[in-house]
């Protein structure tokens, strides 16, 4: 059963352009040149209940705009979005009680008060029965290890602690759908891991549907089976993460450490390889996926090899190269 | 209703966090009492009547507006403009909570606090300087005065919210330029600096049709008993009309604004 349906969605922003400098500013006082920015330009997808989907794409690709439309913050220029059968922009309370949006760079907690005060406010806003609230809060506090920080002014918390509290605030009403926009931004690796584990656990424990955007491939790789890649407002790829590797990476990477001097020319004589890096004693080559093993055997036979590694092209590299439109091999 | 009560409480909690800020804000209010008092004291040192006001009436009017100001003209919904411009409005739009009622609850929290302190400060002021003040003209005048103060408070609330709404279209500087201009004019038209009926009749006739005249001037006229029963009825009718108009206009503009809202801040 699909809980989120997006069909031919478009969101254009009208912005005005200003020439640089003071003269440009004065000109813009009298005459403004407007331009449409196509933040989201005709995208369609559906998401089933319980899925954990990753949105990836460069800055300005339209990921956040899509999430904002799905949350009812933005009025779509055209097309349709439906979440749990509701039109998000109508902002019906019944709908709002079933989803949550967390933005890594925005906060909803009251800055001058302890997080607990904001939680209690959310209890009233979402009309959560006190018994259920206490139970949910206890569970979340345990999962995120927050017991000691609930009564400290939010402004005094570290970024990681605050992010965890933001997550708690967003989850108190046990939303069925969760939109996470860069939930790990600015966090150290340990905290990133903790948040990731939590998201995974939450998804499995409550069968919550989650859409996550992130710049860290680590987040997406670890959490999402399905990814939607967006670029310049359009969907570029929608499918299993492993499919990206199959579809776009027809090459494997060979990393070699030589034990004695080898020249680049000698190496180039081997068929089917491309030299990506050569910095004695280390070389990185790419070769066709199918013949990777034979090529490796040939290299071992002809060269003094101390160490050899065959790896898949990193997803980060695949995606980066897909975006920049370069040849992968 | 309970959610707005909680917002009210949370706002109070958050107001008490900054003790120094709080004290300075009260000192400012007290200084305002002194400033207007000494200004009018100087004016009355050479004459007994200024326009149709004698010394006690004028002092009551001026101190009355200073006190009423902290109840009527003290909306924090200025921040709504800031929240529209920087995208913090998002936090409310995704929740089952009305943004307008949220600010009304927070404003009421502020105003209640203000009333409490103003009474205390005014008492202190009267005790120290013993100015000649007059009590309300009658008990019913006092009742109607309180009613008009509440209506004025609501009128100003929607008015201020309306001004904040224009930030949807002009997010530059969080909407401050427009707000600044409007509030300079408003202060004057509300009768906060001097009573409006000291103007020539023709000018006053225009002023009395505009909403600001009902923020401070008219409630105090009623307190002082300077209006006939017919005039009081007319005043109440005009206030109700403006209140309804401002409410409808705010809703309309807000609906339009949300459609072009960019949910900025990333």
Phi then psi for residue A183, to 5 deg, are: -70, -15
Cβ pair B13:A99 closer than 8 A: no
pLDDT digits (tens, 9 = 90+) for B106-152: 999 989 988 988 888 888 888 988 888 899 989 999 999 999 999 99
How far is the alpha carbon of B157 from chain A, nearest alpha carbon, in Å?
22
**To probe the interface with B, which of A121, A172, A179 has the most B CB atoms within 10 Å?**
A121
A10 close to A78: Cβ distance less than 8 angstroms: yes
Of residues A253 and A82, the one with the higher pLDDT is A82
* Interface test with chain A among B12, B96, B168, by most A beta carbons within 10 Å: B96
Give the pLDDT of residue B93: 94
- Residue B114 is predicted with a pLDDT of 87
Partner B contacted by A37 (CB < 8 A): no
Whether A185 has a pLDDT exceeding 90, the answer reads no
Query: Quick check: B261 and A127 CB within 8 A?
Result: no
Among the ranges given (A50-59, A148-157, A255-264, B89-98), the one the predictor scored with the smallest mean pLDDT: A255-264
Query: What's the pLDDT score for residue B263?
Result: 76
B118 vs B9, B61, B157, CA distance in Å? 20, 15, 20
Among B18, B220, B12, B34, which Cα is nearest to B126's? B34
CB–CB contact B261 A106 (8 Å) = no
Reported as a single tens digit per residue, the pLDDT across A106-118 is: 889 999 999 999 9
Of B4, B115, B21, the closest CA to residue B69 belongs to B115
Residue A328 pLDDT exceeds 70: no
User: Does the pLDDT of residue A161 top 50, yes or no?
Assistant: yes
Find chain B residues with C-beta within 8 A of A113's C-beta. Answer: 10, 13-14, 17
Mean pLDDT lowest for which of A139-153, A271-285, B167-181? B167-181
Q: Which of residues 145-204 of A touch B (CB under 8 A)?
A: 153, 181
Write out the H or E segment, with its range, that includes residue B53.
Answer: strand B53-54
* Facing residue for B95 by CB, picked from A68, A96, A113: A96
Chain A residues inside the 8 Å CB shell of B262: 13, 74
Minimum mean pLDDT range among A127-131, A164-168, A247-251, B252-256: A247-251
Q: Does the structure show a pLDDT above 90 at A103?
A: no
Q: How close A33 gets to chain B, by Cα (Å)?
A: 16
Of A61, A306, A59, give the one whose Cα is nearest residue A185: A59
Contact (CB, 8 A) for B265 and A106: yes
Instruction: Please judge whether B3 and A124 are an interchain contact, meaning their C-beta atoms are less than 8 angstroms apart.
Output: yes
Q: Is B190 helix (H, G, I), strand (E, B) or coil?
A: coil
Interface test with B, best of A11, A65, A74, A110 (most B CBs within 10 A): A74
Structure tokens at B165: 């709404």
Higher pLDDT, A203 or A328: A203
CB-nearest partner of B6 from A74, A101, A121:
A121
A123 and A83 Cβ atoms separated by less than 8 Å = no
Contact (CB<8Å) B259/A75: yes
Report, as an integer, the average pLDDT of A310-317. 78
User: What is the pLDDT, as a whole number, of residue A138?
Assistant: 94
Cα–Cα dist A146/A236, whole Å: 39
Between CA A249 and CA A226 the distance in angstroms is 17
Which residues in chain A belong to E strands, given as ranges?
A: 2-17, 33-48, 52-56, 78-83, 99-103, 177-181, 209-213, 226-231, 234-240, 251-258, 273-279, 282-288, 305-312
Nearest CA in chain B to A88: B94
Residues A124, B7: Cα–Cα separation, whole Å? 9
Q: Which helix (H) or strand (E) is B50 found in, with range? A: strand B49-50
Q: Looking up tokens 């995704």, which residue turns up? A: B94
d(CA A156, CA B23): 23
Chain B positions touching A105 (Cβ under 8 A) are 265-266
- Decide: A11 and A40 in contact? Cβ < 8 Å: yes
Chain B positions touching A100 (Cβ under 8 A) are 94
Which position has the higher pLDDT, A251 or A50? A50
Q: What is the pLDDT of residue A326?
A: 52
Contacts of A91 in chain B (CB under 8 A): 93
Q: Supply the mean pLDDT for chain A.
A: 87
Q: Is there a contact between A101 and B94 if contact means CB atoms under 8 Å apart?
A: yes
Contacts of the segment A294-299: beta carbons below 8 A, 24+ positions apart: A295/A254, A295/A270, A296/A254, A298/A270, A299/A254, A299/A256, A299/A270
Q: Which helix (H) or strand (E) holds A86?
A: none
Pick from B87, B93, B263: CB nearest A91: B93
Measure the CA–CA gap between A154 and A119, rounded to whole angstroms.
12
| B94 chain-A contacts, CB cut-off 8 A | 71-73, 96, 99-101
User: What pLDDT does residue B265 have?
Assistant: 57
Are A73 and B7 a contacting pair at CB < 8 A? no
Q: Which of B94, B109, B168, B169 to mutate to test the interface with A (most CBs of A within 10 A)?
A: B94
Cβ separation A75–B5 shorter than 8 A = no
* Chain B residues with CB-CB distance to A71 below 8 A: 90, 93-94
Q: Does the distance separating the beta carbons of B262 and A112 come in below 8 Å?
A: no
- As a whole-number percent, the residues of chain A with pLDDT over 70 amount to 98
Our CA dihedral for A63, A65, A69, A74, rounded to 10 degrees, sits at 170
pLDDT tens over chain B, length 266 residues: 889 999 999 988 888 877 777 788 788 878 888 888 888 888 888 888 888 888 889 989 988 998 898 899 888 878 888 899 888 899 999 999 999 999 999 999 989 988 988 888 888 888 988 888 899 989 999 999 999 999 999 999 999 999 899 888 887 777 777 778 888 888 889 988 889 988 899 999 999 999 999 999 999 999 999 999 999 999 999 999 999 999 999 999 999 999 988 877 54
What is the nearest CA distance from A228 to chain B, expressed in angstroms?
A: 20
Residue B11 to chain A, least CA–CA distance (Å): 9
Kindly report, residue by residue over A225-252, the tens digit of the pLDDT: 899 998 889 998 899 988 887 777 778 8
**Ranges A38-42, A114-118, A158-162, B22-26: which has the least confidence:** B22-26
Match 């909407």 to its residue by tokens: B175
Measuring CA to CA, how many Å separate A49 from each of A88, A223, A243, B230, B233? 17, 16, 21, 66, 61
Confidence at A81, pLDDT banded by 50, 70, 90? very high
CA dist B17 and A311 (Å) reads: 57
Residue A77 has pLDDT above 60, yes or no: yes
For residue B83, cis peptide bond before it (omega within 30 degrees of 0) = no
CB B195 within 8 A of CB B50: no
Residues of B in contact with A112 (CB under 8 A): 14, 17-18
Q: Is A76 on the interface with B (CB under 8 A)?
A: no
| Predicted pLDDT at B101 | 94
Pinpoint the alpha helices (H) of B16-136. Answer: 19-44, 55-72, 78-86, 90-93, 99-129
Question: Which pLDDT score is estimated for B266?
Answer: 42
Q: Do B96 and A68 touch (CB under 8 A)?
A: no
Q: How confident is the model at residue A325 (pLDDT cuts 50, 70, 90)?
A: low
Query: What's the pLDDT score for residue A329?
Result: 47
């Amino acid at each position: 059963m699909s809980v989120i349906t997006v069909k031919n969605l478009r969101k254009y922003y009208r912005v005005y352009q200003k020439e640089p400098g003071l003269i440009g500013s004065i000109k813009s006082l009298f005459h403004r040149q407007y331009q449409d920015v196509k933040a989201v330009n005709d995208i369609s997808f559906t998401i089933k209940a319980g899925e954990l989907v990753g949105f990836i794409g460069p800055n300005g690709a339209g990921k956040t705009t899509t999430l904002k439309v799905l949350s009812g913050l933005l009025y779509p220029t055209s097309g349709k979005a439906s979440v749990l059968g509701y039109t998000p922009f109508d902002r019906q309370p019944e709908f709002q009680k079933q989803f949550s949006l967390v933005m890594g760079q925005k906060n909803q907690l009251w800055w001058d008060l302890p997080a607990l005060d904001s939680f209690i406010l959310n209890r009233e806003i979402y009309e959560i029965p006190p018994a259920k609230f206490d139970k949910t809060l206890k569970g979340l506090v345990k999962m995120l290890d927050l017991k000691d920080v609930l009564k400290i002014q939010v402004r005094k918390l570290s970024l990681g602690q605050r992010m965890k509290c933001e997550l708690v605030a967003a989850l108190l009403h046990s939303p069925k759908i969760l939109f996470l926009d860069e939930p790990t931004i600015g966090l150290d690796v340990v905290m990133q891991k903790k948040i990731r584990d939590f998201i995974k656990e939450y998804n499995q424990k409550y069968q919550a549907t989650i859409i996550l955007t992130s710049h860290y491939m680590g987040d997406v790789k670890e959490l999402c089976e399905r990814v939607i890649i967006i670029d310049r407002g359009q969907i570029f790829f929608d499918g299993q993460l492993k499919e990206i590797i199959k579809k776009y990476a027809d090459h494997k990477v060979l990393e070699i450490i030589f034990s004695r001097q080898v020249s680049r020319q000698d190496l180039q004589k081997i068929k089917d390889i491309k030299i990506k890096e050569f910095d004695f004693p280390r070389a990185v080559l790419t070769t066709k996926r199918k013949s990777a093993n034979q090529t490796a055997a040939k290299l071992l036979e002809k060269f003094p090899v101390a160490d050899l590694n065959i790896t898949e092209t990193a997803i980060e590299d695949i995606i980066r190269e897909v975006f920049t439109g370069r040849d992968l091999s | 209703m309970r959610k707005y009560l909680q917002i009210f409480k949370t706002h109070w909690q958050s107001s008490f966090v900054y003790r120094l800020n709080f004290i300075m804000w009260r000192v400012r209010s007290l200084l305002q009492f002194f400033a207007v008092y000494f200004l009018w004291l100087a004016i009355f040192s050479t004459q007994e009547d200024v326009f149709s006001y004698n010394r006690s009436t004028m002092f009551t009017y001026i101190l009355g507006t200073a006190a009423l100001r902290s109840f009527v003209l003290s909306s924090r919904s200025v921040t709504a403009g800031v929240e529209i411009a920087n995208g913090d409005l998002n936090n409310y739009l995704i929740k089952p909570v009305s943004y307008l009622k949220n600010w009304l609850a927070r404003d009421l929290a502020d105003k209640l606090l203000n009333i409490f302190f103003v009474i205390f400060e005014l008492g202190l002021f009267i005790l120290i300087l013993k100015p000649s003040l007059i009590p309300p003209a009658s008990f019913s005048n006092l009742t109607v005065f309180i009613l008009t103060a509440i209506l004025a408070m609501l009128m100003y609330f929607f008015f201020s919210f309306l001004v904040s709404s224009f930030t949807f279209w002009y997010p530059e500087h969080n909407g401050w330029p427009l707000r600044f201009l409007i509030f300079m004019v408003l202060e004057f038209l509300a009768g906060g600096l001097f009573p409006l009926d000291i103007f020539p009749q023709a000018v006053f006739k225009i002023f009395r049709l505009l909403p600001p005249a009902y923020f401070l001037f008219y409630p105090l006229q009623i307190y002082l008993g300077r209006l006939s029963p017919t005039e009081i009825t007319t005043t109440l009718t005009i206030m109700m009309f403006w209140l309804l108009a401002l409410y409808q206009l705010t809703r309309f503009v807000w609906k339009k604004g949300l459609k072009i809202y960019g949910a900025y801040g990333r």
